[in-house]
Amino acid sequence: MMMHFIMISRLVCVVLVLMLLSSCQKSGQNNTPNQIWSPVVLDSHQRSDENEPLPSNFLAFELDVERALTIALESGRIILPKPDSTFIEVELVDAGLIPPSLQERYPEIRSFTGISTHDPSQHIRIDFNRNGFYALFKEDETSVIIGPYTISGSPLYFIFTTTDFPSIPPARFGSILAY
C-alpha cells in the first residue's frame, strides 16, 4: 500500500513538472530577445541613408517588426533592448488612441502603454506604424528611445538615450516624442 502511494506521488510530481515545463516553453517561445531582436555592429561615424547624424552612443538591432507586433497582440508583452545591452520585459495595454473602425482598416498601426515586469514604476510608450517601431522609456532618469534608421539600405533599430543624441530629428521621432 505504501509503495503504491509513493509511485502515485512520484507520477503526480513528474506530470506536474512536465506541465510546468510545457507552460514555460509555450509562454516564452515567441517572446525572447533572439526571436525578434538581432544585434548589429556599426561604426558611430556612419550616417543614415537620409544623411542624418547618428547618436554618439547607441546599440543597433535588426527587428522583425511583424513578428514583434504579433507577439505584442497575442501575449500582451514584448521584450525591449536597453542601452546597457540588457533587455526589459514589458506588459502592454492598448493605448486606445485609434477608434475600432480605423483600427480594422489599419491593423499595422498600434499604440501601447506598458509597464516593466521587473519595475512597475517604469512606464513605456510603444508605437507600431507604417514607418516601423518606436519606443520611449526612462532609464536612470534619462529618456531611452528605440527607433528606425536605414544604414546602407538595411532597416535597423537604434537604442540610445537623449543625452547621446541631444538634437534628435523631430521629423523622425516626432510621434513618440509627443508623449
- Report yes or no on 63 lying in a domain: yes
List Cβ neighbours of 152 (8 Å cut-off, separation of 6 or more).
49
Is the pLDDT at 100 greater than 80? The verdict is yes
| Predicted local distance difference test score (pLDDT) of residue 29 | 43
| Predicted local distance difference test score (pLDDT) of residue 91 | 97
pTM of the entire predicted model:
0.74
Q: Which domain holds residue 88?
A: 30-177
Greater confidence (42 vs 126) lies with: 126
- Average pLDDT for residues 3-19, to the nearest whole number? 40
Query: Which cell goes with 111?
Result: 499604440
- Report yes or no on 137 lying in a domain: yes
Provide the number of structural domains found in the chain. 1
- Report yes or no on 16 lying in a domain: no
